[in-house]
Amino acid sequence: MTDFVLEFPPQFRWGTATAAHQVEGNNQNNQWWVWEHTAQRIQNGDKSGLACNWWQNAEADFDHMAAMHQNAHRLSVEWSRIETRDGVFDSAALERYRAMLLALRQRGVEPMVTLHHFTNPIWLEEQGGWENLELVVPRFQRFVVQVVRTLGDVCDLWCTINEPNVYAVMSYLAGRMPPGKRELGAAVRVFRNMLIAHVAAYQAIHEAQPQARVGLAHHMRVFQGLRRRHPVDNALSHLLSDVFNNSLLMALVQGRWHWLLRLGAPQSAAKLRGTLDWIGLNYYTRQRVMFDHRGGDALFSSLVNTPGVIMSDYDYGEIYPQGMLLFLRQLASYRLPIYVTENGLPDHDDDLRPGFIVQHLRMVWQAIQLGCDVRGYYHWSLVDNFEWNEGWRMRFGLIAVNTATQDRTWRTSAYLYRDIARANALSSAIVCQYTPELQSLFVA
């Protein structure tokens, strides 16, 4: 094989991503803790419990980041720890987050702080949560101001909300996340309210910290008709993609409500336009779509997997790296800096993850060569963590975690990611060492 070096831009961000509830442990004041302690909600009856013990000892995993030559990490702050009751803020919790951010900085790791990652304080949930526009927008804005004013001297890269589309669908349409509703109207309201709250947060952050870089993490998924020449399958796949992938971008970039979000909208979307300094792409997999006259999973569509493809653990999804390039090129058309804020797969024995990383990073490199302003890649995740309704059975970590002992073990993919980050490149030497089966992808 011809030697090659696919170099990434200087100052490219090599990172990982985590979420507070999934790694901190003992987040007892949010709606997810209540959900976990309700029967038959989580696979195998799992609970987050101590999680990865970050609240007590995140710094130990920060050392792993440094050893892996990471220069960036995306983490979230837990609203329910910081604002324990409506209007009551815990200065000790904010100081713990300060210590964590400083510890990252001391190791040469730039923090990106997410302000909402699926969890709400119990007191907010009891008052209607994200369905209640008049409540949640000013409360979220107040919380954001408190965080930015306190931590703004150690962080200026902010992600307001993680995956508003996923939160709305999973919590209010699919019923798989708290509060477990199955109402299309509620899902639409929540999604719309989250976009309005993002704008309020964006404005508040820039008032408190003019030099801030503010964006959000948007989950995008490839939808394709299962039967290539089936007109209904194809039409439904386009509809799902339009609603799930494009409605957020229409609002925040173009200032227009998607037709589905326009129904009952309390205000015009015009003021939402231009409230992204950057956009984050969370990309995992492709979903095949098949018409189902019984209603299906969504909009008379059954979401299925491509027959015969290799699947990640528990049929989470197929490996489809082409989607990474597809979405990076789409996002680049909006002329915003882009971060890949999440990309990964559950793979307990780590037999698929090395190839997954190489294939997806090849697509990121190709996007950059085509002129896409991609600033960084944050792999999901550094360590195995509590995977929401899937509990502990899905292992996304570059590093394996023994939850009984809190011991850490580097997987092969961790060494691969270390070598890529250290080189700031994909090279023939790295590909040959870790994924020789992929060498043919790099032959001119």
Note the pLDDT tens digit of each residue in 389-419.
999 999 999 999 999 999 999 999 999 999 9
Cis peptide bond upstream of 179, omega within 30: yes
What pLDDT digit, counting tens, does each position of 60-72 carry?
Answer: 999 999 999 999 9
Q: How many CB atoms lie under 10 A from the CB of residue 228?
A: 8
Strand stretches in 179-332, DSSP E? 213-225, 278-291, 301-304
Q: Which pLDDT belongs to residue 110?
A: 98
What pLDDT digit, counting tens, does each position of 124-149 carry?
Answer: 999 999 999 999 999 999 999 999 99
pTM (2 d.p.): 0.98
Q: What is the distance between the alpha carbons of residues 86 and 65, in angstroms, rounded to a whole number?
A: 35
Q: Which pLDDT belongs to residue 39?
A: 83
What pLDDT digit, counting tens, does each position of 92-105 carry?
Answer: 999 999 999 999 99
Q: How many CB atoms lie under 10 A from the CB of residue 95?
A: 12
Q: How wide is the angle at C-alpha 326 spanned by C-alphas 324 and 327, nearest 5°?
A: 70
Please say if the pLDDT value at position 81 is more than 60.
Answer: yes
Please say if the pLDDT value at position 152 is more than 80.
Answer: yes
Q: Which pLDDT belongs to residue 301?
A: 80
At 144 the three-state DSSP class reads helix
Q: Which pLDDT belongs to residue 304?
A: 86
Query: What's the average model confidence in pLDDT over 214-229?
Result: 95
Query: What's the average model confidence in pLDDT over 168-179?
Result: 96
Query: Among 231-240, 295-304, 317-326, 373-382, which is the least confidently predicted range?
Result: 295-304
Residue whose pair of structure tokens reads 């991609």 in the numeric block = 374
Please say if the pLDDT value at position 179 is more than 90.
Answer: yes
Contact 358, 431 (CB under 8 A): yes
Q: Which pLDDT belongs to residue 292?
A: 82
Q: What is the distance between the alpha carbons of residues 381 and 18, in angstroms, rounded to a whole number?
A: 6
**Cα–chain center distance at 442:** 29
Please say if the pLDDT value at position 251 is more than 90.
Answer: yes
Find the length of the chain. 444
Q: Which pLDDT belongs to residue 241?
A: 96
Query: What's the average model confidence in pLDDT over 253-274?
Result: 96
Q: Residue 230: pLDDT band by 50, 70, 90 thresholds?
A: confident
| Structure-block tokens of residue 158 | 């902010």
Please say if the pLDDT value at position 85 is more than 70.
Answer: yes
Please say if the pLDDT value at position 431 is more than 90.
Answer: yes
| Structure-block tokens of residue 350 | 């780590």
Q: What is the distance between the alpha carbons of residues 383 and 170, in angstroms, rounded to a whole number?
A: 24
Q: Which pLDDT belongs to residue 2?
A: 81
Class of domain 14-409: alpha beta
Buried-state track 270-306, b at ≥16 Cβ within 10 A, e below 16: eebeebbbbbbbbbbbbbbbbbbeeebbbeebbbebe
**Cα–chain center distance at 386:** 14
Q: What is the distance between the alpha carbons of residues 163 and 395, in angstroms, rounded to a whole number?
A: 20
Query: What's the average model confidence in pLDDT over 231-248?
Result: 94
| Structure-block tokens of residue 251 | 């609002």
Please say if the pLDDT value at position 444 is more than 70.
Answer: no
Please say if the pLDDT value at position 1 is more than 60.
Answer: no
Mean pLDDT rounded to a whole number for the chain: 96
Backbone φ, ψ for residue 166 (5° rounding): -65, -45
Residues 6+ away with beta carbon under 8 Å from 192: 257, 261, 265
Query: What's the average model confidence in pLDDT over 308-315?
Result: 94
What pLDDT digit, counting tens, does each position of 7-33 carry?
Answer: 999 999 999 999 999 999 999 999 999
